[in-house]
């Protein structure tokens, strides 16, 4: 007999059952999506004490909920996923956007999203590289004179995690005038031996001058040897993707976000 539940927290035994379900999905297909660390809501269907389908919700914003769906390979095409999504729609406020993640490794998930007439919202890449101090980027193109720009680095702490903020400044012709910030990025600790790169930005008037490369060089010289550096970038942001590939990153995952 099947029963459906909705909870804001899981018991240890329920957590193990969720992980067993996700492991079964990953064994059936090369799915990389896993159990999110910041989940806020759990909807799931059980046969006796075994979870056979689940919907995990992360409330990114009050009106934007990120959703992960897993159904056991032996229980698919029976309406379990659709039933959980329907119950979530009943719970969510009327103006809430429900966004479902797909990593393009599950044909069954893609077929289910198509059947439910979900709309593709955006696609992004997860990219990563391993820190190796010998892989200097200094030889990559840098058009302006070196003394025309300066770079700063300071430690920061956000959401309980330590990291660094890097900034590029353009010096003015007047020695007494303050330097103008023209680029920045941030790095926060991610897991045991990894770091997450985000908020990479160069002012429009200073792009295509190698400043993004110099930011990446500063980041890689600051982080510990052999650490993993990760980022997400929109698949439509071609200049950024080219920069990251040029500085040693490679695509490890393609994530698509579907609106329901």
Rounded CA-CA distance 188/179 in Å is: 26
pLDDT exceeds 60 at position 94: yes
Question: For position 134, what pLDDT does the model report?
Answer: 73
The residue assigned the tokens 């820190």 is 131
pLDDT exceeds 70 at position 174: no
Q: Containing domain of residue 161, as a range?
A: 127-254
| Tally of domains in the chain | 2
* Beta strands 161-170; 180-189: pairing state: antiparallel
Tell whether 89 and 17 lie within a shared domain.
Answer: yes
Establish if 35 belongs to a structural domain: yes
Of 85, 117, 149, the residue at which a domain comes to its end is: 117
- Tens of pLDDT, residue by residue over 99-137, are 999 988 889 999 999 999 999 999 999 999 999 877 766
Tell whether 133 and 91 lie within a shared domain.
Answer: no
Q: How far is CA 6 from the centre of its chain?
A: 26
* Beta strands 64-71; 97-102: pairing state: parallel
Per-residue pLDDT band at 148 (split at 50, 70, 90)? confident
pLDDT above 70 coverage of the chain, percent: 92
- Tens of pLDDT, residue by residue over 198-230, are 999 999 988 888 889 889 988 988 999 999 999
Question: For position 190, what pLDDT does the model report?
Answer: 85
Which range, 31-40, 144-153, 235-244, has the best average confidence (pLDDT)? 235-244
Q: Is 104 left (phi over 0), alpha (psi -120 to 50) or beta?
A: left
In three-state secondary structure terms, 252 is strand
Q: Is the pTM of this model over 0.85?
A: no
User: Which of 66, 45, 41, 69 lies closest to 55, judged by CA?
Assistant: 69
Tell whether 56 and 137 lie within a shared domain.
Answer: no
Establish if 160 belongs to a structural domain: yes
Establish if 65 belongs to a structural domain: yes
Helix (H) or strand (E) holding 166: strand 161-170
The CATH number of whichever domain residue 78 belongs to comes to 3.40.630.30
Q: 188-215: buried (b, 16+ CB within 10 Å) or exposed (e) per residue?
A: bbbeeebbbbeebebeeebeebbbbbbb
């Amino acid at each position: 007999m099947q029963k459906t539940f909705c909870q804001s927290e899981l018991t240890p035994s329920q957590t193990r059952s969720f992980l067993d379900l996700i492991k079964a999905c990953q064994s059936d297909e090369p799915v990389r999506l896993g159990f999110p660390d910041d989940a806020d809501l759990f909807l799931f269907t059980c046969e006796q004490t075994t979870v056979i389908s689940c919907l995990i919700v992360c409330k990114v914003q009050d009106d934007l909920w990120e959703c992960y769906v897993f159904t056991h390979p032996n229980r698919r095409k029976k309406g379990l996923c659709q039933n959980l999504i329907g119950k979530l729609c009943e719970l969510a406020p009327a103006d809430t956007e429900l966004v479902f993640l797909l990593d393009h490794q599950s044909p069954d998930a893609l077929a289910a999203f198509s059947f439910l007439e979900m709309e593709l919202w955006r696609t992004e890449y997860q990219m990563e590289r391993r820190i190796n101090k010998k892989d200097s980027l200094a030889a990559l193109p840098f058009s302006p004179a070196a003394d025309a720009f300066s770079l700063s680095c300071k430690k920061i702490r956000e959401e309980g995690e330590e990291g660094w903020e890097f900034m590029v400044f353009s010096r003015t012709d007047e020695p007494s005038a303050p330097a103008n910030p023209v680029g920045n990025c941030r790095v926060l600790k991610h897991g045991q031996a990894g770091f997450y790169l985000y908020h990479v930005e160069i002012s429009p008037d200073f792009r295509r001058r190698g400043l993004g490369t110099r930011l990446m060089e500063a980041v890689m010289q600051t982080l510990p040897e052999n650490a993993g550096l990760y980022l997400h970038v929109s698949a439509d942001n071609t200049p950024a993707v080219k920069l990251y590939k040029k500085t040693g990153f490679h695509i490890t995952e393609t994530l698509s976000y579907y609106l329901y």
